[in-house]
Each structure stands twice: as C-alpha cells, then as structure tokens.
Structure 1
C-alpha cells in the first residue's frame, strides 16, 4: 500500500491490518444475525448479543484510554489480535451447542463488530500509532488512507456473504458453512498478530513522550466527545438498515436494486475520503469537516421529500460523496490538538461516546418508521448533523491549523 510522503514505513503494516479487519467486519456484520438465528436463537436474543458486542467494545476502548498508557502499544495490539482470533474460533465452536449465555459472554468480551464501521479496541491503538508515523499535512493524508482502506475493504467484505450459499449449494450444511466464516474471522486475527509482530517495539527507542492518560487536553477531548456523540446519534437515526427500509417503503425499491445502491454509495464514500486531505490542504481541517458535512445533510433532508426515486437516489449519492470526508480530517484533528502522550487516550474517549450514541438511536428511527413518519428520521438526522457542524465550527475554528 502506498504511503503519503513523510509517513513512517511501519504505517503500511497498520493499513494492511485495517484492511484485513475491515474485510472480515464487512461479512460478519451481515452474517452474525443469520448465524444466530440459524442456531435457533430468537430475535430478542440476537439483539442482546449485538448490544453486548457494542457495549463490550466501548468498555474495552475506555480501558485502553484509562490504563493503556501503562503498557507498550505494540503489546496491546498483539493482545487485541489474539482476542480477535479467540472470538472467531469460540463463536464457531459454540455453534455446535447453540447456547445463548456462552455466546453472549464471547460477544461481550470479544472483538466481534455488528456494524461495518470500526468500533473495536483496535481503533484507538492504531490511531495513536498512525499519529506517531506522520506529522502535519502528511498525518491527514495518512488518516485518509486508513479510513479509505477500511471503507473499501468493508464494502468488498460484504460480497463474501455469498460464500456460505456457495458452500451450501456444494452440499455443506448451512450451519457448518456459516461456522467456517467465523473460523475465517479467527484466522484473520492470527494473521494480524503475525503482521503486528513486525511493528517496532517502542520500548526499544527513546520517545518524545510516553503514553499517558488525559491531562492537559482533557477539556478539549471532552468537548469533542460531546459534539461527536451528537453526530453519531443523528447518524444512528438513519443507519443503512433503516435507509434501506425507507427506500423499500417510500419507493418500493427491490432488494437487488437496494444492494446495488449501497455498493455504489459505499464506493463514493470511500473515494471521498481520499479527496479529504486535498480539500483540507486548501481550507483547513475544521472547514473541511464542517463545509462538506452541511451540504450532505441538506441532501438528506431534501431526499426525504423527493417525489421520485431518481431524484432521491441522486441526492443520496451526492450525500455519500460528501458525508464521510470528515472522517479522516476528524481523526487527524483529534490527534493534532492533544499532546502526543495523550493520543491513545484521546482516541478512546472520543470513540466510545460515538459508539454508545450511535447504538441508542436506531431504535428511535425504527419506531418513527413504524408510526408511519417515514420522512422524520431523515429530517431529524440532517438537522441534528447541521447543528453539530455549526457548534463544532464555532468551538474549534480557533485551533486551525495544527502543524504537528
């Protein structure tokens, strides 16, 4: 994988690791409920297990932020890789008995991700290492590569959901075919462990600053975490599952057509993240985050009232091309406004509230759809995101532009 000029060579290992994890997350996010239902669990139990994965990841990320500074980051990354391996292999093994409580415990303790986005304990650790691998503008480009690789590989991984059907058609039992996919997830953890063993061990070098818990930057991080939570809560009102439901209900879109829409929308989102550093170079990190995000939210609100499918899809495609440009710039900004020693903690404390807020709002969006208010989740999402952007710009424009 090509690195931006000025990035340390070991950043390539982090990009490859992100690609591998995103690919497996891409199919696991779709296969996990299918697997659990095939085991004979009910929808309520599937929901509990999905919630346990999010809650466990959030608590693990908090732990990294609070106590991770006591351990070398490389050791924590290797431990996370082993945990990923154990998660996949245990879930595959427990499929033989189908017991709810063991599955719930593994989901809570493990690294399983019920969404295609990254909510795992890997995130703050990899962000901190990436921030050390580049400075200034090169850091923004590096985070753009990181998020682009994740988005692209997650979209590609979703295509792997066809593998169990191919295996079933070849004569393998459906449950066994699904279990093999979780074995593949676990083996990917082993591969990432081998990959991250090649990372430099920072204990062997003198560092400018050893990792520490939040200190001088605590106020900034808390304010950012609060604002990011508003953004995440708004996004949860219209996650892809609910957006698909809206397209089905509003325009009677077929399942095949919806799949094609989300594939191309995902590619647009991934591509836009590569463009974000070039935009940030000219207008700054905060301006890129805000002034690409607001138009995307306006497109979502307009799509809610579109009279025809082509108009709605055009607006949603335009939204996809703009809405994720804030992801790499947001990560780069957080890493730049805190001290180097606080970066792992800052990544954790800004990621956890986002995960929890995003997990809370899909139920509200679903309830609004069930009540017949099809446009309201889209409108509420758009307006909340615009309010977030304005608040972010007013609060942090004075920090523009960090240079290290």
Structure 2
C-alpha cells in the first residue's frame, strides 16, 4: 500500500506511514515477544520450583484476565479513539514484562498473569487483537479484506517464529557468564522493551473521530449472529486451550525431554509453516468461501494432532505437529474476515471483542486441566481432547453458517 497522509495537530496534512503498515509493524513486535515468552514461561516457572499443574493455572489466569480486559475493550471501542486504547494496552505490556522479571513468588506471579498481557498461546488471544481488527477493517474494501487479514496474520506468525528462536538465548547464557534464570528474566525485560517499540508505531496511527451515541453500538442488528459465532468460537478456544504453546512445550519437555534450543527451533518452523498458510487461506477462500476454508483445513489438522499424541518417538511427533501447524491456523485470517464482514461498521470493535471474549474465557478453563493431566502422567489426553472437540466445532460451524455469506461471496 502507498504511504498515506496523516493529519497534524494544527490541521495540516503531512506524509506518514499507512495506518495498516503501522499496525502490521506493531503486531510483528508484539508477536515476537509473545513467541519467546510462550516457551520461556513454563521454563521460568519450573526453574522457580513450581509444578506442571501450577504452570497450567498460571496459563489459565493469563487467559481469563485477557478475557476480562477484552470485555472492557468491547464497550469502549466504539466510543474511544482506538489509538488511545492501543497505547493503554502497550503500557500494560511494558509493566507486565518488568514485573515478571522482578517477581519470584507464586501468588504475585498469578496476579501478574491475570492482570497483565503474558500470552501463553503466542497467538491471537490478546487484548490488542479486537482493536487492531477494527482499525484494519476500515482501511480496505470488502474484496481485499481477507487478503489484508492474511498479511496481518502472516506478519504476526513470522515474527512469532523468530521469537521462538530467541527463546533459545538463555541456553547460551553460560557463554557470557549468566545463570540461566537470570537470562530468562532478561528476556522478560526484552518483552517490555518490545512493548515500548510497538507503542511508537501506534503513535503513527492518525486519530479518528469517535462515533456519537447515535452511531456507536455495542451490538445492534448483528447481535444474534455474533452471539452464535461467539458460542462456537468458545468451543474451539476451549479445545485449543489444552495445547496452548506453553503447554505444548511442556508436553514436549516432559514426554521427550526436549531441550530448550530444540524447542525453539521446532516452534520457529511451526510458526513459519503457519505463517505461509495464511496467504494460501486467502487464496483458497476466494474459490471455496470463508466458511469452507475454515472447516476443511481445520478438520485434517485435528486428526493429525490426535495421531501426534500417540507418536512413539520424538521425530514422528514433531513431524505430525509440523503438519498440523501448516493447516491449523488457516482459519485465523478467514475467521477474522468473516466476523468483520457479517456485522455493520459501527459494530466491528464490539463484534471483534465479543467473539474474542468467550474464546479467552473458554481457553482459560482448559490449560489448568491440561496441566493436571500432564502432572498425573496422562500426557496424551490433552492432545486427544483438543483434536476431538475441534472436529465437533468445525462440523457445527459448517452446519450453522454455510448459508450466511459475506458480501463478496453473494
């Protein structure tokens, strides 16, 4: 996209970065931080002496806190400047990174996970996401919307993959005389610095006038559709919570004694495969539709995940998980595009929020269950439960929404 002009405080127009470019850059920085934090979180907690069950509870607290923050964003999004809300979220990200580096006790860590922005899934479960979705959608036409969301997801996934590689840095800390635990703490400081850098890009987004009470709507004519989608998305998220990235890393550590460096490399390639599946999803959706793309790529990925749970060796398990990575995220840009397409412009921030909130709440319930299963040596069950529930979600989504087409498919 060409550079876009932006408005100065004095009302004059000056050249500036396209708002979408700024949002892509901020997303990349944030996902880079999430990429290494999702892997280092269980390592950090295990280094501090906590159990797999306690790791799962921390992940649950993080997701539940994100859900409550996203509820607030849903009510504020239509009445507040999106840039101001993104600034506030960035400040919380910086505070979270600093606090995680300084705290050792479990109870305060639980509070930080609940109130902060630590993301155990290294994905789209974030208070930033509904704000960015609403801001991005107003930058493109309906025809280009899915392609734009594919680029947005591609940017984040590649950055997350690089972040996963960065998770191996603490293993090399002995070369410079640092203890591993100290090195992990410094990575949380880096997470805070990444938040500051992302805030600089949000500062380049032009202010937009907020809607008046007559225009702004938490949810209006699309309420029934949004609630139904939210219910289905919550089932998908509950399933996904059994294998959020932190817990998948924990499963690999516990089942196969995988090293931190090897885990970082695996999640890097997993992220790369996910990233390049997004443009494929946009291409495929133009030919078979958004709903069909979501369903018919998701079901095979769930089958492969179930097979991975019973893999007899590390090589086969990693191969199956990489196949899953190439398929499982193709519903991300298509899902975002579909939600934005079937609601009115005034409802977009609220719709993005209200479809994210149940996802976060539902996802918050399952990591603690998965941690308990791993702690009890039922290591295969989280993967099996995740795969089976996701298949149920896909079939229900197809049955209920195959006839509700976005404008470009009518």
Residue 361 (1) aligns with residue 354 (2) = no
Q: What number of residue pairs does the alignment pair up? A: 394
Are the counterparts in 2 of residues 269 and 323 from structure 1 also a CA contact under 8 Å?
A: yes
Q: Give the deviation of 1:79 after TM superposition.
A: 1.5
Aligned equivalents of 1:312 and 1:81: distance in 2? 37
Of residues 123-132 and 74-83 in structure 1, the stretch that sits farther from structure 2 once superposed is 74-83
Aligned equivalents of 2:293 and 2:178: distance in 1? 50
Of residues 38-47 and 174-183 in structure 1, the stretch that sits farther from structure 2 once superposed is 38-47
Are the counterparts in 2 of residues 168 and 177 from structure 1 also a CA contact under 8 Å?
A: no
SS at match of 1:70: coil
Partner of 1:121: 127
Residue 293 (1) aligns with residue 298 (2) = yes
Aligned equivalents of 1:184 and 1:210: distance in 2? 41
Decide which of 69, 81, 98 is 2:90's aligned counterpart. Answer: 81
Are the counterparts in 2 of residues 224 and 350 from structure 1 also a CA contact under 8 Å?
A: yes
Q: Give the deviation of 1:189 after TM superposition.
A: 1.9
Partner of 2:331: 326
Aligned equivalents of 1:218 and 1:87: distance in 2? 34
Residue 177 (1) aligns with residue 186 (2) = no
Of residues 393-402 and 42-51 in structure 1, the stretch that sits farther from structure 2 once superposed is 42-51
Decide which of 27, 32, 39 is 2:36's aligned counterpart. Answer: 27
Unaligned segments of structure 1, at least 5 residues: none
Are the counterparts in 1 of residues 56 and 367 from structure 2 also a CA contact under 8 Å?
A: no
Aligned equivalents of 1:101 and 1:246: distance in 2? 24
RMSD of equivalent CA atoms: 3.3
Decide which of 165, 169, 178 is 1:163's aligned counterpart. Answer: 169
Partner of 2:70: 61
TM-score, length basis structure 2: 0.83
Are the counterparts in 1 of residues 56 and 370 from structure 2 also a CA contact under 8 Å?
A: no
Are the counterparts in 2 of residues 80 and 121 from structure 1 also a CA contact under 8 Å?
A: yes
Aligned equivalents of 1:183 and 1:87: distance in 2? 9
Partner of 1:199: 205
Aligned equivalents of 2:393 and 2:108: distance in 1? 40
Partner of 2:155: 149
Decide which of 346, 355, 370 is 2:351's aligned counterpart. Answer: 346
Partner of 1:17: 26
Are the counterparts in 1 of residues 53 and 375 from structure 2 also a CA contact under 8 Å?
A: no
Aligned equivalents of 1:126 and 1:304: distance in 2? 35
Aligned equivalents of 1:13 and 1:312: distance in 2? 38
Q: Give the deviation of 1:313 after TM superposition.
A: 5.2
Q: Give the deviation of 1:116 after TM superposition.
A: 1.2
Aligned equivalents of 1:367 and 1:163: distance in 2? 29
TM-score, length basis structure 1: 0.85
Aligned equivalents of 2:378 and 2:45: distance in 1? 31
Decide which of 324, 336, 339 is 2:341's aligned counterpart. Answer: 336
Q: Give the deviation of 1:101 after TM superposition.
A: 4.8
Q: Give the deviation of 1:33 after TM superposition.
A: 4.0
SS at match of 1:159: helix
* CA shift in 2, pair 1:55/1:2, >3 Å: farther
* CA shift in 2, pair 1:288/1:361, >3 Å: same
Are the counterparts in 2 of residues 211 and 344 from structure 1 also a CA contact under 8 Å?
A: no
Q: Cα deviations across residues 115-159 of structure 1 (Å, max 9, x unaligned)? A: 312322111101111111112231101111111111111121122
Are the counterparts in 1 of residues 60 and 363 from structure 2 also a CA contact under 8 Å?
A: no
Unaligned segments of structure 2, at least 5 residues: 4-16
Aligned equivalents of 2:205 and 2:51: distance in 1? 43
* CA shift in 2, pair 1:72/1:372, >3 Å: closer
Aligned equivalents of 1:242 and 1:349: distance in 2? 26
Q: Give the deviation of 1:216 after TM superposition.
A: 1.4
